[in-house]
Protein backbone atom coordinates (compact mmCIF):
# COMPACT_ATOMS: atom_id res chain seq x y z
CA UNK A 1 0.00 0.00 0.00
CA UNK A 2 2.99 2.25 -0.43
CA UNK A 3 2.84 5.31 -2.63
CA UNK A 4 4.12 4.72 -6.12
CA UNK A 5 4.69 7.43 -8.64
CA UNK A 6 6.41 5.34 -11.28
CA UNK A 7 9.97 5.76 -12.46
CA UNK A 8 11.83 8.95 -12.70
CA UNK A 9 13.71 8.10 -15.88
CA UNK A 10 16.56 10.51 -15.44
CA UNK A 11 17.43 9.33 -11.92
CA UNK A 12 17.16 5.55 -11.72
CA UNK A 13 20.55 3.87 -12.23
CA UNK A 14 18.93 0.45 -12.82
CA UNK A 15 17.07 1.33 -16.00
CA UNK A 16 18.84 -1.30 -18.14
CA UNK A 17 18.02 -4.07 -15.64
CA UNK A 18 14.43 -2.84 -15.33
CA UNK A 19 14.06 -2.85 -19.11
CA UNK A 20 15.33 -6.44 -19.46
CA UNK A 21 13.22 -7.71 -16.56
CA UNK A 22 10.26 -5.90 -18.16
CA UNK A 23 10.76 -7.88 -21.37
CA UNK A 24 10.78 -11.13 -19.40
CA UNK A 25 7.62 -10.09 -17.50
CA UNK A 26 5.97 -9.36 -20.85
CA UNK A 27 7.05 -12.76 -22.18
CA UNK A 28 5.75 -14.63 -19.12
CA UNK A 29 2.51 -12.66 -19.26
CA UNK A 30 2.04 -13.67 -22.89
CA UNK A 31 2.59 -17.34 -22.12
CA UNK A 32 0.13 -17.12 -19.17
CA UNK A 33 2.72 -17.79 -16.48
CA UNK A 34 1.00 -15.75 -13.74
CA UNK A 35 3.48 -16.43 -10.95
CA UNK A 36 6.60 -15.55 -12.90
CA UNK A 37 4.89 -12.47 -14.34
CA UNK A 38 4.06 -11.28 -10.84
CA UNK A 39 7.52 -11.95 -9.40
CA UNK A 40 9.19 -10.12 -12.30
CA UNK A 41 6.83 -7.19 -11.93
CA UNK A 42 7.38 -7.04 -8.16
CA UNK A 43 11.14 -7.03 -8.72
CA UNK A 44 10.77 -4.22 -11.26
CA UNK A 45 8.71 -2.13 -8.81
CA UNK A 46 11.32 -2.74 -6.10
CA UNK A 47 14.20 -1.75 -8.40
CA UNK A 48 12.40 1.42 -9.46
CA UNK A 49 12.55 2.56 -5.83
CA UNK A 50 16.34 2.12 -5.61
CA UNK A 51 18.61 5.11 -5.85
CA UNK A 52 21.84 3.01 -6.05
CA UNK A 53 22.97 0.77 -8.87
CA UNK A 54 22.28 -2.87 -7.95
CA UNK A 55 25.06 -5.02 -9.36
CA UNK A 56 25.31 -8.17 -7.24
CA UNK A 57 23.05 -11.00 -6.16
CA UNK A 58 23.63 -10.12 -2.50
CA UNK A 59 22.61 -6.52 -3.01
CA UNK A 60 19.49 -7.63 -4.88
CA UNK A 61 18.44 -10.20 -2.25
CA UNK A 62 18.54 -7.44 0.35
CA UNK A 63 15.68 -5.63 -1.39
CA UNK A 64 12.13 -6.57 -0.31
CA UNK A 65 10.27 -7.89 -3.36
CA UNK A 66 13.30 -9.58 -4.94
CA UNK A 67 13.73 -13.30 -4.29
CA UNK A 68 16.79 -15.49 -4.81
CA UNK A 69 16.09 -16.45 -8.40
CA UNK A 70 15.35 -12.92 -9.51
CA UNK A 71 18.46 -11.71 -7.66
CA UNK A 72 20.61 -13.97 -9.85
CA UNK A 73 18.97 -12.53 -12.94
CA UNK A 74 19.67 -8.99 -11.74
CA UNK A 75 23.35 -9.90 -11.28
CA UNK A 76 23.49 -11.57 -14.69
CA UNK A 77 22.16 -8.45 -16.38
CA UNK A 78 24.51 -6.19 -14.43
CA UNK A 79 27.56 -8.35 -15.28
CA UNK A 80 26.88 -9.31 -18.87
CA UNK A 81 24.47 -6.57 -19.94
CA UNK A 82 22.13 -9.32 -21.15
CA UNK A 83 19.90 -12.17 -19.98
CA UNK A 84 20.37 -15.64 -21.50
CA UNK A 85 16.77 -16.63 -20.82
CA UNK A 86 15.54 -13.62 -22.77
CA UNK A 87 17.75 -14.46 -25.71
CA UNK A 88 16.51 -18.03 -25.81
CA UNK A 89 12.89 -16.87 -25.90
CA UNK A 90 13.71 -14.70 -28.89
CA UNK A 91 15.57 -17.39 -30.84
CA UNK A 92 13.59 -20.54 -30.04
CA UNK A 93 11.24 -20.98 -33.04
CA UNK A 94 8.55 -22.73 -30.99
CA UNK A 95 8.57 -19.92 -28.44
CA UNK A 96 8.26 -17.43 -31.26
CA UNK A 97 5.24 -19.19 -32.77
CA UNK A 98 3.71 -19.63 -29.32
CA UNK A 99 3.98 -15.88 -28.71
CA UNK A 100 2.60 -15.16 -32.16
CA UNK A 101 -0.44 -17.37 -31.58
CA UNK A 102 -1.00 -16.17 -28.01
CA UNK A 103 -1.11 -12.63 -29.38
CA UNK A 104 -4.54 -13.49 -30.82
CA UNK A 105 -7.32 -12.10 -28.63
CA UNK A 106 -8.41 -14.65 -25.99
CA UNK A 107 -5.99 -17.33 -27.15
CA UNK A 108 -4.12 -18.88 -24.23
CA UNK A 109 -1.37 -21.42 -23.85
CA UNK A 110 -3.50 -24.59 -24.36
CA UNK A 111 -4.96 -23.42 -27.67
CA UNK A 112 -1.68 -22.03 -28.98
CA UNK A 113 0.15 -25.26 -28.05
CA UNK A 114 -2.55 -27.38 -29.69
CA UNK A 115 -2.21 -25.43 -32.93
CA UNK A 116 1.56 -25.89 -32.90
CA UNK A 117 1.10 -29.63 -32.27
CA UNK A 118 -1.26 -29.73 -35.26
CA UNK A 119 1.55 -28.34 -37.39
CA UNK A 120 0.44 -24.73 -37.81
CA UNK A 121 3.33 -22.30 -38.01
CA UNK A 122 1.94 -18.96 -39.07
CA UNK A 123 -1.17 -16.78 -38.87
CA UNK A 124 -1.78 -17.62 -42.54
CA UNK A 125 -1.80 -21.35 -41.63
CA UNK A 126 -4.41 -20.68 -38.97
CA UNK A 127 -6.57 -18.61 -41.31
CA UNK A 128 -6.48 -21.28 -43.99
CA UNK A 129 -6.55 -24.52 -42.03
CA UNK A 130 -7.33 -24.25 -38.32
CA UNK A 131 -10.72 -24.74 -36.73
CA UNK A 132 -11.42 -21.32 -35.23
CA UNK A 133 -14.15 -20.07 -32.89
CA UNK A 134 -15.94 -16.87 -33.99
CA UNK A 135 -13.96 -14.83 -31.43
CA UNK A 136 -10.64 -16.31 -32.58
CA UNK A 137 -11.53 -15.47 -36.16
CA UNK A 138 -12.21 -11.84 -35.22
CA UNK A 139 -9.01 -11.79 -33.16
CA UNK A 140 -7.02 -13.09 -36.10
CA UNK A 141 -8.58 -10.63 -38.57
CA UNK A 142 -7.70 -7.75 -36.23
CA UNK A 143 -4.44 -9.14 -34.90
CA UNK A 144 -2.42 -5.94 -35.03
CA UNK A 145 -5.30 -3.69 -33.97
CA UNK A 146 -5.93 -5.64 -30.77
CA UNK A 147 -2.27 -6.01 -29.90
CA UNK A 148 -1.29 -2.37 -30.34
CA UNK A 149 -1.55 0.05 -27.43
CA UNK A 150 -4.20 2.77 -27.63
CA UNK A 151 -3.01 6.36 -27.12
CA UNK A 152 -4.66 8.04 -24.15
CA UNK A 153 -6.32 10.71 -26.30
CA UNK A 154 -7.96 8.01 -28.40
CA UNK A 155 -9.29 6.19 -25.32
CA UNK A 156 -10.88 9.52 -24.34
CA UNK A 157 -12.45 9.91 -27.79
CA UNK A 158 -14.04 6.43 -27.63
CA UNK A 159 -15.26 7.09 -24.07
CA UNK A 160 -16.83 10.40 -25.10
CA UNK A 161 -18.87 8.70 -27.81
CA UNK A 162 -20.19 6.15 -25.31
CA UNK A 163 -20.79 8.89 -22.73
CA UNK A 164 -22.91 10.86 -25.20
CA UNK A 165 -24.96 7.80 -26.17
CA UNK A 166 -25.54 7.04 -22.47
CA UNK A 167 -26.68 10.60 -21.70
CA UNK A 168 -29.06 10.51 -24.63
CA UNK A 169 -30.60 7.33 -23.25
CA UNK A 170 -30.65 8.45 -19.61
CA UNK A 171 -29.29 11.78 -18.37
CA UNK A 172 -28.39 10.32 -14.97
CA UNK A 173 -25.94 7.70 -16.17
CA UNK A 174 -22.37 8.19 -14.98
CA UNK A 175 -19.35 6.88 -16.84
CA UNK A 176 -15.78 6.61 -15.57
CA UNK A 177 -12.87 5.47 -17.71
CA UNK A 178 -11.13 2.81 -15.61
CA UNK A 179 -8.17 0.47 -16.06
CA UNK A 180 -4.76 1.78 -17.00
CA UNK A 181 -6.33 5.03 -18.28
CA UNK A 182 -7.51 5.95 -14.80
CA UNK A 183 -4.02 5.18 -13.48
CA UNK A 184 -2.68 7.81 -15.86
CA UNK A 185 -1.05 5.55 -18.49
CA UNK A 186 0.05 7.28 -21.68
CA UNK A 187 -1.40 4.33 -23.63
CA UNK A 188 -3.77 1.49 -22.83
CA UNK A 189 -4.31 -2.14 -23.87
CA UNK A 190 -8.08 -1.72 -24.05
CA UNK A 191 -10.85 0.71 -23.11
CA UNK A 192 -12.45 -0.05 -19.74
CA UNK A 193 -15.66 1.91 -19.13
CA UNK A 194 -17.32 1.73 -15.71
CA UNK A 195 -20.98 2.64 -16.01
CA UNK A 196 -23.43 3.32 -13.17
CA UNK A 197 -26.46 5.43 -12.26
CA UNK A 198 -27.45 6.88 -8.92
CA UNK A 199 -29.76 4.55 -6.97
CA UNK A 200 -29.98 2.08 -9.88
CA UNK A 201 -29.69 -1.70 -9.71
CA UNK A 202 -27.58 -3.84 -12.03
CA UNK A 203 -30.72 -4.92 -13.85
CA UNK A 204 -31.79 -1.31 -14.50
CA UNK A 205 -28.37 -0.28 -15.80
CA UNK A 206 -28.00 -3.36 -17.96
CA UNK A 207 -31.44 -2.78 -19.49
CA UNK A 208 -30.58 0.79 -20.52
CA UNK A 209 -27.26 -0.32 -22.01
CA UNK A 210 -28.34 -3.53 -23.70
CA UNK A 211 -31.72 -2.32 -24.99
CA UNK A 212 -30.86 1.24 -25.96
CA UNK A 213 -27.23 2.39 -25.81
CA UNK A 214 -25.46 -0.59 -27.39
CA UNK A 215 -27.91 -0.98 -30.32
CA UNK A 216 -27.64 2.78 -30.95
CA UNK A 217 -23.82 2.61 -30.98
CA UNK A 218 -23.96 -0.25 -33.49
CA UNK A 219 -26.35 1.75 -35.63
CA UNK A 220 -24.01 4.75 -35.50
CA UNK A 221 -21.22 2.54 -36.84
CA UNK A 222 -19.13 2.97 -33.66
CA UNK A 223 -19.44 -0.54 -32.22
CA UNK A 224 -18.16 -3.16 -34.65
CA UNK A 225 -18.76 -6.48 -32.93
CA UNK A 226 -19.67 -8.03 -29.59
CA UNK A 227 -17.26 -10.64 -28.29
CA UNK A 228 -18.82 -13.53 -26.41
CA UNK A 229 -17.18 -14.23 -23.05
CA UNK A 230 -16.49 -17.83 -22.24
CA UNK A 231 -14.20 -17.06 -19.34
CA UNK A 232 -16.58 -14.95 -17.24
CA UNK A 233 -17.32 -16.48 -13.91
CA UNK A 234 -20.95 -17.00 -12.93
CA UNK A 235 -20.86 -13.99 -10.58
CA UNK A 236 -19.90 -11.75 -13.51
CA UNK A 237 -22.75 -12.89 -15.69
CA UNK A 238 -24.64 -10.03 -17.22
CA UNK A 239 -22.45 -7.33 -15.73
CA UNK A 240 -20.09 -6.87 -18.68
CA UNK A 241 -20.18 -6.31 -22.38
CA UNK A 242 -17.03 -6.98 -24.40
CA UNK A 243 -16.59 -5.85 -27.97
CA UNK A 244 -14.72 -3.70 -30.42
CA UNK A 245 -15.23 -0.10 -31.49
CA UNK A 246 -13.84 2.25 -34.15
CA UNK A 247 -13.78 6.04 -34.33
CA UNK A 248 -15.67 7.65 -37.23
CA UNK A 249 -13.58 7.41 -40.39
CA UNK A 250 -11.07 4.99 -38.85
CA UNK A 251 -10.47 1.37 -39.86
CA UNK A 252 -8.72 0.59 -36.59
CA UNK A 253 -10.69 -1.60 -34.18
CA UNK A 254 -10.12 -1.17 -30.45
CA UNK A 255 -11.06 -3.54 -27.66
CA UNK A 256 -13.74 -1.98 -25.46
CA UNK A 257 -15.34 -3.28 -22.24
CA UNK A 258 -18.54 -1.85 -20.81
CA UNK A 259 -18.82 -2.70 -17.13
CA UNK A 260 -22.31 -2.36 -15.64
CA UNK A 261 -22.10 -1.46 -11.96
CA UNK A 262 -25.01 -1.11 -9.50
CA UNK A 263 -24.87 2.16 -7.59
CA UNK A 264 -24.36 0.39 -4.26
CA UNK A 265 -21.17 -1.26 -5.56
CA UNK A 266 -19.69 1.72 -7.38
CA UNK A 267 -16.73 2.29 -5.00
CA UNK A 268 -15.68 -1.36 -4.84
CA UNK A 269 -16.01 -1.65 -8.63
CA UNK A 270 -13.92 1.51 -9.12
CA UNK A 271 -11.13 0.00 -7.03
CA UNK A 272 -11.30 -3.33 -8.84
CA UNK A 273 -11.50 -1.99 -12.40
CA UNK A 274 -8.81 0.62 -11.77
CA UNK A 275 -6.26 -1.92 -10.58
CA UNK A 276 -3.58 -2.55 -11.35
CA UNK A 277 -3.97 -6.28 -10.86
CA UNK A 278 -1.12 -6.49 -8.36
CA UNK A 279 -2.47 -3.54 -6.37
CA UNK A 280 -5.81 -5.40 -6.25
CA UNK A 281 -4.12 -8.53 -4.95
CA UNK A 282 -2.34 -6.64 -2.22
CA UNK A 283 -5.36 -4.63 -1.06
CA UNK A 284 -7.43 -7.85 -0.94
CA UNK A 285 -4.72 -9.56 1.05
CA UNK A 286 -4.66 -6.63 3.43
CA UNK A 287 -8.45 -6.90 3.85
CA UNK A 288 -8.19 -10.61 4.56
CA UNK A 289 -5.46 -10.03 7.17
CA UNK A 290 -7.87 -7.65 8.89
CA UNK A 291 -10.61 -10.30 8.86
CA UNK A 292 -12.44 -8.49 6.10
CA UNK A 293 -13.02 -9.37 2.47
CA UNK A 294 -12.81 -7.07 -0.54
CA UNK A 295 -14.09 -7.90 -4.00
CA UNK A 296 -15.53 -5.94 -6.91
CA UNK A 297 -18.91 -5.77 -5.16
CA UNK A 298 -17.92 -4.48 -1.74
CA UNK A 299 -15.94 -4.64 1.47
CA UNK A 300 -17.29 -7.20 3.93
CA UNK A 301 -16.60 -7.64 7.66
CA UNK A 302 -16.98 -10.35 10.28
CA UNK A 303 -15.41 -12.92 8.02
CA UNK A 304 -14.53 -16.17 9.70
CA UNK A 305 -11.87 -18.34 8.10
CA UNK A 306 -10.85 -21.93 8.73
CA UNK A 307 -7.35 -23.37 9.13
CA UNK A 308 -6.59 -23.15 5.43
CA UNK A 309 -7.91 -19.58 5.28
CA UNK A 310 -11.08 -20.84 3.60
CA UNK A 311 -14.09 -18.67 4.29
CA UNK A 312 -16.64 -20.02 6.78
CA UNK A 313 -18.99 -17.01 6.81
CA UNK A 314 -19.85 -14.57 4.01
CA UNK A 315 -19.69 -11.61 6.37
CA UNK A 316 -21.74 -8.44 6.32
CA UNK A 317 -21.36 -5.59 3.88
CA UNK A 318 -19.40 -2.69 5.39
CA UNK A 319 -19.13 -0.45 2.33
CA UNK A 320 -19.60 -0.70 -1.42
CA UNK A 321 -20.50 2.75 -2.69
CA UNK A 322 -17.54 4.92 -1.80
CA UNK A 323 -13.96 4.25 -2.85
CA UNK A 324 -12.65 6.61 -0.15
CA UNK A 325 -14.69 4.91 2.62
CA UNK A 326 -13.29 1.50 1.64
CA UNK A 327 -9.72 2.76 2.04
CA UNK A 328 -10.77 4.41 5.29
CA UNK A 329 -12.32 1.28 6.81
CA UNK A 330 -9.29 -0.75 5.75
CA UNK A 331 -7.17 1.76 7.65
CA UNK A 332 -4.92 2.69 4.73
CA UNK A 333 -4.34 6.19 3.36
CA UNK A 334 -6.26 7.09 0.24
CA UNK A 335 -4.23 6.37 -2.91
CA UNK A 336 -5.07 8.32 -6.02
CA UNK A 337 -5.32 5.99 -9.05
CA UNK A 338 -1.95 7.14 -10.46
CA UNK A 339 -0.27 5.76 -7.34
CA UNK A 340 -1.79 2.29 -7.70
CA UNK A 341 0.97 1.01 -9.98
CA UNK A 342 2.61 -2.06 -8.46
N1 LIG B 1 -7.86 -6.90 -13.12
C2 LIG B 1 -7.45 -7.64 -12.02
N3 LIG B 1 -6.88 -8.87 -12.20
C4 LIG B 1 -6.69 -9.36 -13.43
C5 LIG B 1 -7.10 -8.63 -14.56
C6 LIG B 1 -7.68 -7.39 -14.37
O7 LIG B 1 -7.60 -7.19 -10.88
N8 LIG B 1 -6.13 -10.56 -13.57
C9 LIG B 1 -8.44 -5.56 -12.91
C10 LIG B 1 -7.37 -4.52 -12.71
C11 LIG B 1 -7.37 -3.71 -13.96
C12 LIG B 1 -8.76 -3.92 -14.53
O13 LIG B 1 -9.20 -5.17 -14.03
C14 LIG B 1 -8.79 -3.86 -16.05
O15 LIG B 1 -8.04 -4.94 -16.59
P16 LIG B 1 -7.16 -4.80 -17.88
O17 LIG B 1 -7.86 -3.96 -18.88
O18 LIG B 1 -6.78 -6.17 -18.28
O19 LIG B 1 -5.83 -4.11 -17.34
P20 LIG B 1 -5.33 -2.60 -17.36
O21 LIG B 1 -4.74 -2.38 -16.03
O22 LIG B 1 -6.43 -1.68 -17.79
O23 LIG B 1 -4.16 -2.60 -18.43
P24 LIG B 1 -4.25 -2.49 -20.03
O25 LIG B 1 -3.70 -1.15 -20.38
O26 LIG B 1 -3.36 -3.57 -20.53
O27 LIG B 1 -5.68 -2.67 -20.43
MG1 LIG C 1 -7.47 -2.05 -19.57
Over residues 270-290, mean pLDDT: 94
- CA of 188, closest atom in ligand 1: 25
Looking at the CA of 284, name the nearest ligand. Answer: 1
Q: Catalytic pick from 3, 9, 48, 73?
A: 73
CATH architecture of 93-147: Orthogonal Bundle (1.10)
Over residues 92-108, mean pLDDT: 88
Query: Ligand 1 centre and the CA of 85: distance in Å?
Result: 27
Looking at the CA of 275, name the nearest ligand. Answer: 1
Q: Model confidence at 236, in pLDDT bands (50, 70, 90)?
A: low
Q: Is the CB of 315 under 6 A from ligand 1?
A: no
- CA of 179, closest atom in ligand 1: 22
Pick the CATH number of 15-88 from 3.40.710.10, 1.10.150.110, 2.10.109.10, 3.20.20.140: 1.10.150.110
pLDDT of residue 87: 83
pLDDT of residue 264: 97
Minimal-distance CA residue to ligand 1 atom 24? 189
Q: Is the CB of 296 under 6 A from ligand 1?
A: no
- What residue ranges do the domains of the chain occupy? 15-88, 93-147, 150-261, 274-339
**List of residues 6+ apart from 234 with CB closer than 8 A:** none
Minimal-distance CA residue to ligand 1 atom 16? 179
Minimal-distance CA residue to ligand 1 atom 10? 275
> In 3-state terms, the chain is what percent helix, strand and coil (to 5)?
50, 15, 35
- What's the CATH number for 150-261? 3.30.460.10
pTM score, whole prediction: 0.82
Intrachain domains 15-88 and 274-339 with the same fold: no
Looking at the CA of 179, name the nearest ligand. Answer: 1
Q: What mean pLDDT is reported for the chain? A: 91
Q: Which long-range contacts (CB under 8 A, 24 or more apart) does 15-23 make?
A: 16/77, 16/81, 17/47, 17/54, 17/74, 17/77, 17/78, 18/44, 18/47, 18/48, 20/77, 20/82, 20/83, 20/86, 21/47, 21/70, 21/73, 21/74, 21/77, 23/86
Query: Ligand 2 centre and the CA of 291: distance in Å?
Result: 30
Over residues 204-231, mean pLDDT: 92
Q: Is the CB of 192 under 6 A from ligand 1?
A: yes
* Catalytic residue flag (residue 73): yes
Pick the CATH number of 274-339 from 3.30.210.10, 3.40.50.720, 3.40.50.2020, 1.10.1060.10: 3.30.210.10
Q: Is the pLDDT of residue 118 over 60?
A: yes
Q: Which of 147, 139, 208 is nearest to 173 (CA)?
A: 208
Query: Ligand 1 centre and the CA of 55: distance in Å?
Result: 32
Amino acid sequence: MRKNEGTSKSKNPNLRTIEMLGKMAYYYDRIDDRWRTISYRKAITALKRQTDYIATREQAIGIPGIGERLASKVEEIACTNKLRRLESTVTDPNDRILLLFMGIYQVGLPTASRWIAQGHQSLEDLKAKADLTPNQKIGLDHYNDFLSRIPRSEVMAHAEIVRRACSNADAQIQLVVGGSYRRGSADCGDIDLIITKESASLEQIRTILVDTVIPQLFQDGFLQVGLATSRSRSTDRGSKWHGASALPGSQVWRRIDLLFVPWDEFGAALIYFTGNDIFNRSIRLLASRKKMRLNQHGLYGDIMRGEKRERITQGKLLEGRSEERIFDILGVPWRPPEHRIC
